[in-house]
Structure 1
Amino acid sequence: MIKKFIRYLILGLGLYALIATLVITFYKDDPQAMIWQDREAFNERYIKKLSIDESVTLNTVLDYLGSPDLTYAKRNKDQVWQIIFYRTQHKTSDGITTMDECTGLLFKNGELFLWGPSAYSTFQENTR
């Protein structure tokens, strides 16, 4: 009787570990389905991992983070500048996402150029 119980217990734990591993490995997070607190943390983690050494495109960011909270784009001669904002810090519970609650990612011709607090001022300087 005890051997049977232990066998079922080990089988159950093994099955649980297998299912948990499969979910962790193959389940892609969907930022659109997250509650706002989780999405903020998800956005912030992704943006903190960005590196200037690797080539990051606008489409790569959109595929991973989903639709931005705010976006602006302008053409200046033969260059296209686009800045997208993702909310990364909560300030006011008013139901409106503002720039001071977001981190900006600046793209020049579809390639990540700059991100962080100076991204918007650089966008404005280059699109006058």
Structure 2
Amino acid sequence: MINGRFLRFAKVGAAGFVVDILVFSILVYGFGFPTMLSRVLSFIVAATTTWLGNRLYTFKVTSDRFGQWKRFFLSACISMLPNLLVFKGILLFLGENPITHVIAFVCGVASGLVSNYVLSSRWVFR
């Protein structure tokens, strides 16, 4: 059975996913930024969004704001590695278009979910 904290983490992650793909789409399709640069920038915005959501909603921690943000960002960067590798790998295999961007996005985010939760629950928001 999945615990309540993981469900809250998943809800915050879903909101972060929406922010992530929205920022990515605006950068790629609205401003013509390169795909991987857009992916990294959107990840940074989404990571900050999910840090705030996890801080206030999932783990309900109010102390050590800056130290916590640094730990979260480091753990997000660790989790970003499989995310970006899967994203780029799928695009290399399928090519780039709006549909493959979404497929690569979903698969990439899913690949980083477990490590992000473990690092968040055991290190960032302990």
Could you state the TM-score of these two structures normalised by the residue count of structure 1?
A: 0.26
User: RCO greater where, 1 or 2, for CA within 8 Å and sep 6 or more?
Assistant: 2
**Structure ranking higher in strand proportion:** 1
State which structure, 1 or 2, has the greater radius of gyration over its C-alpha atoms: 1
Going by fraction, where is helix more abundant, 1 or 2?
2
> Structure 2 length normalisation: TM-score?
0.27
